Amino acid sequence: MSEGPARRGARGLLPVLLVMLLALLVPGCRVMEQGTDDVAPPVDAGPSSTKPAKPSGRRPGVVNIETEQALNGTRAAGTGIVLTPAGLVLTNNHVIQGATAIKGTDTDNRRTYTAQVVGYDRTGDIAVISLAGAARLKAARFGPASSVNVGDAVTAVGNAGGKGGTPTVVTGKVTALDQSVTARDDSNGTSERLTGLIETSAPIKPGDSGGPLLDSTGKVIGINTAASAGFSVKGAERDKDHRGYAIPSERALEIARQIQRGEASSTVHIGRTAMLGVKVRSNGGSPGALVTEVVPGSPAASAGIPVGAAIVTLGANAVDTPAALTALMLSHHPGDVVRIEWTTRDGGRAGTSLRLAEGPPQ
């Protein structure tokens, strides 16, 4: 683990897997319609006077998120931050990844809403959801993460443990800036590389994902996304070596605003997610995405794609790896007709055109 550089901008590299803060509950969303007139709140730089030394405590604008993942037969929980009074909520992508149903409870008015996905960025681990029928919610205030220094007092707020109810509030200090980590999502075993993070000693826990990291004035300067709890690094004791990591507010809001504008990119997906209906893994030393499971009733099942096949093209594009297949799928939407080709175990090749169904966010 990084020893925590004393200057802002010094990069720390963590050669261990950190845990994304998604809380698994028990052993399974309607997705957002495109377009909204809401606008994310501007970053409030606030007064330039000396900041109070004490942590801020809880502030409005926190949402407890609960998801169902029907394809896996599980439920999970995380946290969100209210962007607008009309119910746009910022959270981590890994909180809503794989969700077939999403509910959000505003912790200020105690009302629970069904939620739809507006869009998400898998690489940046940011998503925006909309709470159906919400109005006059208390939005969080955002401050610039660029003004944060090592040693500043911070407060982390979230749905720790996925218990719901009043959010948990924990405090600590900023221990390093511009950190790079590899975070593992314990809900599905996937991992991703995150960079430019704020590191804090605040003891954030599973369920806090997507929740706010507040500065001493109560403004959101980061979105909690990962923690090193449960790992021993360089012989250090677990509890003493706990570190939490948050995505800086400016970066999160930049992605959120792109999503609100409906601007898709190579990393940002807008609206509903298309589904082929296969689970895949690496094809060893050969190109393609090896099919390990076919979802019953899915387009892949209807097309007769068998387990053991290696998908090698989607549309006019080659599929070299499972990651390439995922990226290509994110450029499509439910209802699109695409041609897919695969190789069989005996060396044969087959293909067909099929219509993509609607699936969970990726």
Alpha carbon distances (Å) from 210 to 12, 37, 66, 281: 22, 23, 12, 28
Which uninterrupted H or E stretch holds 252? Answer: helix 249-260
Count of CB atoms situated within 10 Å of the CB of 239? 8
Residue 282 is a catalytic residue? no
Which of the residues 106, 121, 125, 152 is marked catalytic?
125
Q: Hey, what are 36's tokens?
A: 């909204």
Rounded Cα gap, residues 172 and 208, in angstroms: 15
Across 134-156, b (16+ Cβ under 10 Å) vs e yields beebebbbbbbbebbebebbbbb
Q: Hey, what are 103's tokens?
A: 């509910």
Please answer whether residues 130 and 102 qualify as being in contact, where contact means their C-beta atoms are separated by less than 8 angstroms: no
Residue 216 is a catalytic residue? no
The DSSP call for residue 346 is T
43: which strand partners?
Answer: 142
Rounded Cα gap, residues 248 and 163, in angstroms: 26
Label residue 128 exposed, middle or buried (CB < 10 Å: 0-12, 13-18, 19+).
Answer: buried
78: which strand partners?
Answer: 65
Residue 15: helix, strand or coil by DSSP? strand
Residue 178 is a catalytic residue? no
Which of the residues 56, 209, 216, 228 is marked catalytic?
209
Rounded Cα gap, residues 292 and 280, in angstroms: 5
Alpha carbon distances (Å) from 55 to 28, 45, 58, 244, 246: 38, 18, 9, 16, 16
DSSP 78-111: EEEEE-STT-EEEE-HHHHTT-SEEEEEETTT--
Which of the residues 94, 242, 269, 332 is marked catalytic?
94
Rounded Cα gap, residues 27 and 18, in angstroms: 23
Task: Indicate which residues carry an active-site annotation.
Answer: 94, 125, 209
